[in-house]
Structure 1
Amino acid sequence: MKHCLPALLVLLSTFLINPTSAQTTQHNTIPSQISTSAFLRIQSTQLKNYQQFTYSSNEYLHVARSAKLLTIDNFPISTTETGTLQVTRKRSAADANTILLIGTAQGEKTIRLPEVVVFKGTIEGEPNSTVTLCAVNNELIGSLRRADGSSYSIAPDNTTGGALHCIVPDKTMHQQNELLQCMSEEGQRMMKNKLQAPAGMNASSKSERPLSTKLLEVRVAVECDTKFFTELGKDTVKSAGYALALISMASIAFEDDLNVTLSVPWLKIWTDAPSDPYNVNGDAYALAWKAQTYWKANNAGVDRDMVHVLTAGGGGGLGLLYPLGNGGGGTTVCSKDDGFSSSGPFTFHTYPTLDFTYGVYIVSHELGHTFGAQHSHNCFWNPPLDTCVVQEAIDGKCFPASLTTRPNPGSIMSYCPSVNLAAHNQDFNYYRVNMTFLPQIAAYMRAQIEGTSCITEPKKPTLILTSPRGAKAIDSGSYVIKWKSSKVQFISIEYSDNSGISWTNIVSEIDAATVSYKWYLPVVNTKSMLVRVFDATDQSVADTSIVPFTAHNLTDVTEEIGASNWKFHPTITEGELTLEGTPHAREPLSVVLYSLQGKMLREWSIPASGSHLMMKFDVADIPAGVYSVQLRGSKVYCAKTVIRR
């Protein structure tokens, strides 16, 4: 059901207080739901056929991080309408083991991986619609395809560098001189002259042998040149996030049609033009060949199945594939010498944002070539699978000379956007394709990948608690919990002071890549302590201390102030806990009340704020006694003792 947008959707300005009294954690398997008003504010004016909105990543990710199924109501589905999204969690192409590097004038440096959360689904009431959303740190990137065929890109406003985002109709994004070009005749000739297919490689197809149904994984090392970095505002986090978003969204098509998932084990961003070995000024066709030469000399040791290099400027790219004798393509995946592709997504045009829909299409298209796929209009398919380009098939004598181009919905390996555009009087609403690999092409690509030497099933998600394992007692107010992980994005941590009979939350949905967390113990004296870590989206992926251990913290946690330097003052009078202070770090916080026995009695949430706060919480039902009040956030920890008289 659609609704006209009001002039302004107002964010909740008051903070939400959520008291909890149960010590045993309740794990919710019901689909999560969030209202758009909690994390998105539509601007009151519409500008040049696009709509701006502000996005609050904290509110969205608080729900989205651990959700497998998510319902989002009142989400903008055009510049004038809202609808309800039903989306499902998808794999991110990156995990805690992804290596992220930047190339600078001073040499190579390692930086922290940005947070990436991916969803795909539909618009309620529009069964043929498609929605993809990718949250990257504090930005939201995505695309919507409506049931009527219209499509929209969602991305940050590149002119502001803040929370401002845009939803733009894809039909208004493109200019006539920005249309797709890929695999020119010159490029085809170069491949025939330069690439030699390995002995025994053939153009196998689904009809020749049965294909496996196992999920396979292809590891794509990604590199971004300085032009890509510059067009993304010279921001390494934004550049890394956008590159990962493109591969993550491309992976959805590969998973749906080939049962192959794409992962990124290695990502590098060049930030200094003199140091950049490419300097192709947006020429994505030249980039793949340059990357091939550079990687052979400098990156031979990078563990990967293929390489994809990104520049900026739009127009197309190149994917290297082995030319086979019968006109088919042989996959270069697994070849350290030839497994290269490149693309140039649009990062600038009439509007101040990214053309994400086209970016995912061109990246998927060039990766498809590297998997061995020829264009859908190629004679190899006998006959060609579309008529969007006919001259190549006429020259190959698989179409009659009299045949003219005809519009076609198109697919990832087609050139149909340009033909559909011309057939509809340059109406850019028709400059689009279906984001899918046609069944015959998908089967061929799958057969090619199954014939390689390096492709296997993906590793199962793994999480190992390395400390505390249970061999040593904890006799202090704090302890550093440590873990290792693979294929896990976010983890939660709990403790039990009764050998696992009940569990209490320590922290929820933190980045698995941090590999450690400083835990401030409650007031506790037990010989039955356990700690466990688990995947925030799949609690079957978990690990627990091997045996119960002793934990003593009888004198309360000594006050410890974190980076935000918030000194807070708790008191209990007339059945109310009063908390007063001024936070200097704008981040959501939680207030937790413990008994001296270590039992969590209450927990409240405080939204991000930089102003002086005076908050009151109802504790009328707790008896007289001494309690521990703890204030927690990612950059702050404070604990104080308080007396209820």
Structure 2
Amino acid sequence: MRLLFIYLFLLPSVGWTQEKPLAKAVSNAKASGKVDSFSNLFTANGSTKAVTNALDATQFIHQLTLNPTVLESISSQKHQLLEISLPTAEGSLELELVPATIFAPGFKMVTAVPDPNFTLDITKFQYYNGIIKNNPNSIAMVGISENSIVGTISDQTGNRVLAKRNEKSATEYAFYNENAVTTQKPTFACGTINSGPARTPLKENPTKDTLTHTTNSTTCVKYVGVYVELDYALYQLYSGNTNELTTKTLFLFDQVITLFRNDGIYVQLSQLYIWNSPDPYSGATIPSSTTNTSELLDKFRIHWNGNNDNFLGQVAFVLTSRTFSDAGGRAYLGGLTIRPYAYGMCAYISPNTVQPYPTYTYQVGALTHELGHSLGSQHTHWCGWEVSPGVLGAIDNCAPTEALEGQSPCPPGPPPVGGGTIMSYCDIIPGNSKDFTKGFGPLPRNKILSVIASANLPTTTSDGIVESIVTGNWSSASTWACGLTPTVMRNITVSGGHTVDLNTSGDTKEVNINGDLNLSISSSSLNVNN
């Protein structure tokens, strides 16, 4: 079975002239006519007012009761297009979801020392993302296991969360705007370290890979594999429960990966490494001898430099629950293209930001932001953006401007309308916010795409799946190469967890995938004849 986790984000088309990737994936799935609808996954169980001193006292917390039988039915099979409803006092919110892939081919989970209690089977989970019905400018990210579901929704009203009530029964859930349960904004600042020569002004006209394809997948695209370490402090915070820690981390990355995906940027997890013994970066004690994010990142980089930078993936990050006074995260700018500096870190990672109602968006925003630096983007308050033809400056006014090397700071940019973008600091300004619905924004997005276009990266299908495939009767395990048509003229069945390589010219009749299939893409088209 597949992984199903729910995270929901609504993103308008900022800087896009065509349908955004998630809306397009839903449209393609609709065209197949294969829709599985579950309107009774939850039952409304009343609403309560926002918590005392909430940032938005006008919001309500909607209490929901989960139907375990329906959840089991959803998680027991793969859905080409999944529709679920979230009932509230204002009416039901209907989601349209397609399967999502967050794992790179060959994904691994490893602990520093063997843990006999680490029994998590990721095939027992499913990941989906998509949109709110009739809203093509939205994002829905969903994660479901056999007995739980979690999600986050973002739109112009803020971020909404679907989560199990902490310290309640397994069927008691809540659906709420995070500002209804949050009393103060978390502070965030990050430190960016240049990983190469001095940065010059950005004048981006990124080239696009011209790729053809003959599958129902939208296209073959380059992706960035992310190697992730969870430090010993984070392991201790979860009381040594590696299963729970891993589950929550995968939930987090599902959201991060979806934010990238809806801007046409593809990121996948290549390996998850858990320090269940003292790590070499922070030590075994809290507080740690490591006192700031710069020191932790430096130790992380030096550790891997000493191992020939031989981690699995293209960039490597360490996550910690520790707090530091200097920043909440740090990464080497453009580290994706300079292997000895392909490193970053995020602090303040914790199971729940607010009790008894968990919120996730601070951690999602911080990690997406730092990965954005690794992929080449500066802050939006940097002075080197070409904000109009021939004119360099800052995109917004959410932080003191960052000058180009050897120059004085430029004037601040304009105030963002409706909130800032991912690479901004707008969420730390009273009365302002960071709006996930805007994604990275046109200039940072184009910069990241240009870096990826010039980098030597593995490739995958943009939707992570090959569609319109029917049952066959021939079984084999190998590697699937996108863009190369096979010579095998017979029906093929691929069991879950394997990869398939069809790397010669010709056609195949039918391919049936049982469970998850990791795609290893090496060319531009794949032809499957039903």
With normalisation by structure 2, the TM-score equals 0.67
**Partner residue of 2:80 out of 65, 68, 72:** 68
Separation of aligned partners in 1, 2:437 and 2:407:
26
1:351 is paired with a residue whose SS is coil
Is structure 2 residue 221 aligned with structure 1 residue 221? no
Deviation at 1:61, TM superposition (A): 5.8
Deviation at 1:72, TM superposition (A): 1.6
User: Quick check: which has more Rg, 1 or 2?
Assistant: 1
Aligned match of 2:153: 144
Aligned match of 1:642: none
Moved more, 64-73 or 372-381: 64-73
Given that residues 461 and 486 in structure 1 are in contact (C-alpha distance below 8 angstroms), is that contact kept between their aligned partners in structure 2?
A: no
Aligned match of 1:386: 396
Separation of aligned partners in 2, 1:58 and 1:296:
50
Which structure exhibits the higher relative contact order, with contacts defined as CA atoms closer than 8 Å and separated by 6 or more residues?
2
Separation of aligned partners in 2, 1:373 and 1:418:
20
Given that residues 34 and 72 in structure 1 are in contact (C-alpha distance below 8 angstroms), is that contact kept between their aligned partners in structure 2?
A: yes
Given that residues 84 and 95 in structure 2 are in contact (C-alpha distance below 8 angstroms), is that contact kept between their aligned partners in structure 1?
A: yes
**Partner residue of 2:268 out of 235, 259, 263:** 263
Q: Which amino acid aligns with 1:71?
A: E
1:171 is paired with a residue whose SS is helix
Aligned match of 1:123: 132
Given that residues 288 and 341 in structure 1 are in contact (C-alpha distance below 8 angstroms), is that contact kept between their aligned partners in structure 2?
A: yes
Q: How has the CA–CA distance of structure 1 residues 451 and 321 changed in structure 2, closer, same or farther, with 3 Å as cutoff?
A: farther
Provide, for residues 297-316 of structure 1, a one-character-per-residue CA deviation record: whole Å limited to 9, x for no partner: 35843331011222236796
1:445 is paired with a residue whose SS is helix
Aligned match of 1:513: 497
Aligned match of 2:204: 206
Separation of aligned partners in 1, 2:511 and 2:454:
41
Q: How has the CA–CA distance of structure 1 residues 462 and 130 changed in structure 2, closer, same or farther, with 3 Å as cutoff?
A: closer
Q: How has the CA–CA distance of structure 1 residues 90 and 396 changed in structure 2, closer, same or farther, with 3 Å as cutoff?
A: farther
Deviation at 1:220, TM superposition (A): 0.5
Q: Which amino acid aligns with 1:150?
A: G
Q: How has the CA–CA distance of structure 1 residues 223 and 137 changed in structure 2, closer, same or farther, with 3 Å as cutoff?
A: farther
Aligned match of 1:159: 167
Given that residues 135 and 141 in structure 1 are in contact (C-alpha distance below 8 angstroms), is that contact kept between their aligned partners in structure 2?
A: yes
Provide, for residues 532-575 of structure 1, a one-character-per-residue CA deviation record: whole Å limited to 9, x for no partner: 8525689x99xxxxxxxxxxxxxxxxxxxxxxxxxxxxxxxxxx
Deviation at 1:139, TM superposition (A): 2.9
Deviation at 1:30, TM superposition (A): 2.4
Provide, for residues 460-499 of structure 1, a one-character-per-residue CA deviation record: whole Å limited to 9, x for no partner: 8699xxxx998xxxxxxxxxx87457799xxxxxxxxxx9
Aligned match of 1:235: 241
Runs of 5+ in structure 2 lacking a partner? 1-30, 52-59, 212-220, 386-391, 483-489, 500-509, 521-530
Aligned match of 2:442: 439
**Partner residue of 1:306 out of 283, 294, 315:** 315
Given that residues 248 and 262 in structure 1 are in contact (C-alpha distance below 8 angstroms), is that contact kept between their aligned partners in structure 2?
A: no
Given that residues 317 and 343 in structure 1 are in contact (C-alpha distance below 8 angstroms), is that contact kept between their aligned partners in structure 2?
A: yes
Aligned match of 1:571: none
Separation of aligned partners in 1, 2:323 and 2:39:
32
Separation of aligned partners in 2, 1:119 and 1:469:
28
2:310 is paired with a residue whose SS is coil
Q: How has the CA–CA distance of structure 1 residues 349 and 302 changed in structure 2, closer, same or farther, with 3 Å as cutoff?
A: closer
Moved more, 371-380 or 130-139: 130-139
Given that residues 237 and 350 in structure 2 are in contact (C-alpha distance below 8 angstroms), is that contact kept between their aligned partners in structure 1?
A: no
2:249 is paired with a residue whose SS is helix
Provide, for residues 286-345 of structure 1, a one-character-per-residue CA deviation record: whole Å limited to 9, x for no partner: 5433321222335843331011222236796434334xxxxxxxx111543211112234
Separation of aligned partners in 2, 1:159 and 1:244:
22
With normalisation by structure 1, the TM-score equals 0.56
Separation of aligned partners in 1, 2:223 and 2:73:
29
1:333 is paired with a residue whose SS is helix
Given that residues 314 and 347 in structure 1 are in contact (C-alpha distance below 8 angstroms), is that contact kept between their aligned partners in structure 2?
A: no
Given that residues 207 and 453 in structure 2 are in contact (C-alpha distance below 8 angstroms), is that contact kept between their aligned partners in structure 1?
A: no
Aligned runs of 1:209-358 on 2, under 5 Å? 210-212=207-209, 215-232=221-238, 234-257=240-263, 259-272=264-277, 274=278, 277-279=281-283, 286-298=295-307, 300-312=309-321, 317-322=328-333, 331-344=334-347, 345-358=349-362
Aligned match of 1:365: 369
Deviation at 1:202, TM superposition (A): 6.8
Provide, for residues 41-92 of structure 1, a one-character-per-residue CA deviation record: whole Å limited to 9, x for no partner: 455574845345454566336336422222223x14x6x4442423231532
2:395 is paired with a residue whose SS is coil
Aligned match of 1:101: 110
Given that residues 120 and 133 in structure 1 are in contact (C-alpha distance below 8 angstroms), is that contact kept between their aligned partners in structure 2?
A: yes
Separation of aligned partners in 2, 1:118 and 1:81:
27
Aligned match of 2:457: 455
Separation of aligned partners in 2, 1:276 and 1:108:
23
Is structure 2 residue 513 aligned with structure 1 residue 534? yes
Report how many aligned residue pairs link the two structures. 432
Q: How has the CA–CA distance of structure 1 residues 168 and 126 changed in structure 2, closer, same or farther, with 3 Å as cutoff?
A: same
1:223 is paired with a residue whose SS is strand
Root mean square deviation of aligned Cα = 4.4
1:265 is paired with a residue whose SS is strand
Given that residues 141 and 155 in structure 1 are in contact (C-alpha distance below 8 angstroms), is that contact kept between their aligned partners in structure 2?
A: yes
Aligned match of 2:26: none
Runs of 5+ in structure 1 lacking a partner? 1-27, 323-330, 424-429, 471-480, 489-498, 516-530, 542-645
Q: How has the CA–CA distance of structure 1 residues 90 and 83 changed in structure 2, closer, same or farther, with 3 Å as cutoff?
A: same
Given that residues 156 and 165 in structure 1 are in contact (C-alpha distance below 8 angstroms), is that contact kept between their aligned partners in structure 2?
A: yes
Q: Which amino acid aligns with 1:455?
A: L
1:293 is paired with a residue whose SS is helix
Aligned runs of 1:471-490 on 2, under 5 Å? 483=477
Provide, for residues 244-280 of structure 1, a one-character-per-residue CA deviation record: whole Å limited to 9, x for no partner: 23223222232232x33111121112234x3564347
Q: How has the CA–CA distance of structure 1 residues 351 and 359 changed in structure 2, closer, same or farther, with 3 Å as cutoff?
A: same
Q: How has the CA–CA distance of structure 1 residues 166 and 210 changed in structure 2, closer, same or farther, with 3 Å as cutoff?
A: same
Given that residues 495 and 515 in structure 2 are in contact (C-alpha distance below 8 angstroms), is that contact kept between their aligned partners in structure 1?
A: no
Q: How has the CA–CA distance of structure 1 residues 56 and 270 changed in structure 2, closer, same or farther, with 3 Å as cutoff?
A: farther
Q: Which amino acid aligns with 1:338?
A: Y
Separation of aligned partners in 2, 1:433 and 1:268:
28
Q: How has the CA–CA distance of structure 1 residues 276 and 236 changed in structure 2, closer, same or farther, with 3 Å as cutoff?
A: farther
1:295 is paired with a residue whose SS is helix
Separation of aligned partners in 2, 1:143 and 1:180:
20
